[in-house]
């Protein structure tokens, strides 16, 4: 896996990065996905939210967090009073990884650590342009992409961590909230509580 490094143009802003990512061949995931799904939001956003990877609906739409997980996330954001315009939303990897089942249905597959590493230069480029006050990682893939493979969301969720000049916080992934059965309310409450910590850092 060559990694995305050589595909990331130097000294360009978000529009240039968004255009260039469609040409990325940094790992094998570009082959099966319909397109790369780059982050979305303003360059002036005060928070960057990092998910895992685009899902089926995101791959079709070409936009991050537009499916069920995105809707739940938007609800949680509204609950803690974070303005959607203050948020830049992206993913640890930019191409959808899936397995095709029974002809048509595309089943989400977690990106490998190698693929996350290969894709990191895009995330780094986004963070360098947006320069957020706080970074919220949704789930282990995003948290480990930024904070390293030994980071455990279960142990450290909701903690503000100083990392390479940024304040980073990890929480549960909205898809995990949607998947949980018995403790769905509890998981959602965790997500909201952690987002409240991020919201506090954004108060004037």
| Interface residues toward ligand SF4, by CB under 6 A | 4, 21, 24-27, 29-30, 36, 93-95, 115, 118-119, 122
Segments of 109-165 assigned E as strands:
134-138, 161-163
Assigned token pair, 21: 């990512």
Q: How many CB atoms lie within 10 A of CB 204?
A: 2
Residue 26 partner contact from ligand SF4, ligand URA, none using kind-dependent CB cut-offs of 5 to 8 Å: ligand SF4
Of residues 33 and 82, the one with the C-beta less far from ligand SF4: 33
Q: In the set 41, 54, 111, 132, which binds ligand URA (CB under 6 A)?
A: 54
- Kindly tell me which residue out of 27, 52, 87, 132 binds ligand URA, with binding defined by CB under 6 A: 52
Q: Which own/partner contact pairs does 69-77 have at CB distance under 8 Å and 24+ positions apart?
A: 69/173, 69/174, 69/175, 69/178, 70/174, 72/174, 72/177, 72/178, 72/188, 73/49, 73/138, 73/174, 76/174, 76/188, 76/191, 76/192, 76/195, 77/195
CB of 91 to ligand URA, least distance (A): 5
Which residue do the tokens 């004037």 mark?
A: 204
Pick from 165, 157, 139: nearest CA to 198: 157
Q: Interface with ligand URA by CB under 6 A: which range of 16-24, 61-69, 110-118, 126-134?
A: 61-69
Whichever of 11 and 171 has its CB closer to ligand URA, that residue is 171
41 sits near ligand URA (criterion: CB under 6 A):
no
CB of 91 to ligand SF4, least distance (A): 9
Task: Find tokens 């990512």 and name the residue.
Answer: 21
3-state secondary structure 112-128: CHHHHHHHHHHHHHHHH
91 binds ligand URA (CB under 6 A): yes
Q: Of residues 68-87, which lie at the interface with ligand URA (CB under 6 A)?
A: 69-70
Does the footprint of ligand URA cover residue 111 (CB under 6 A)?
no
Contacting positions for ligand URA (CB under 6 A): 51-55, 58, 64-65, 67, 69-70, 91, 175
């Amino acid at each position: 896996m060559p990694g995305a490094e050589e595909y990331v143009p130097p000294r360009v802003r978000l529009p240039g990065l968004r255009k260039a990512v469609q040409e990325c061949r940094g790992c094998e995931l570009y082959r099966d996905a319909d397109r790369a799904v780059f982050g979305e939001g303003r360059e002036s956003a005060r928070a960057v939210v990092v998910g895992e990877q685009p899902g089926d609906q995101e791959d079709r739409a070409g936009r991050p967090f537009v499916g069920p997980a995105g809707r739940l996330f938007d609800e949680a954001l509204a609950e803690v009073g974070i303005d959607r315009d203050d948020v830049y939303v992206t993913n640890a990897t930019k191409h959808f990884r899936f397995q095709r089942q029974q002809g048509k249905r595309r089943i989400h597959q977690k990106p490998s650590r190698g693929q996350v590493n290969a894709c990191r230069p895009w995330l780094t480029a986004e963070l360098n342009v947006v320069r957020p006050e706080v970074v919220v990682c949704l789930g282990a893939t995003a948290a480990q992409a930024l904070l390293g493979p030994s980071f455990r969301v279960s142990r450290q969720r909701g903690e503000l961590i100083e990392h390479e000049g940024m304040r980073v916080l990890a929480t549960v992934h909205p898809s995990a909230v949607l998947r949980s059965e018995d403790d769905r309310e509890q998981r959602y409450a965790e997500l909201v509580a952690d987002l409240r910590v991020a919201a506090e850092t954004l108060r004037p």
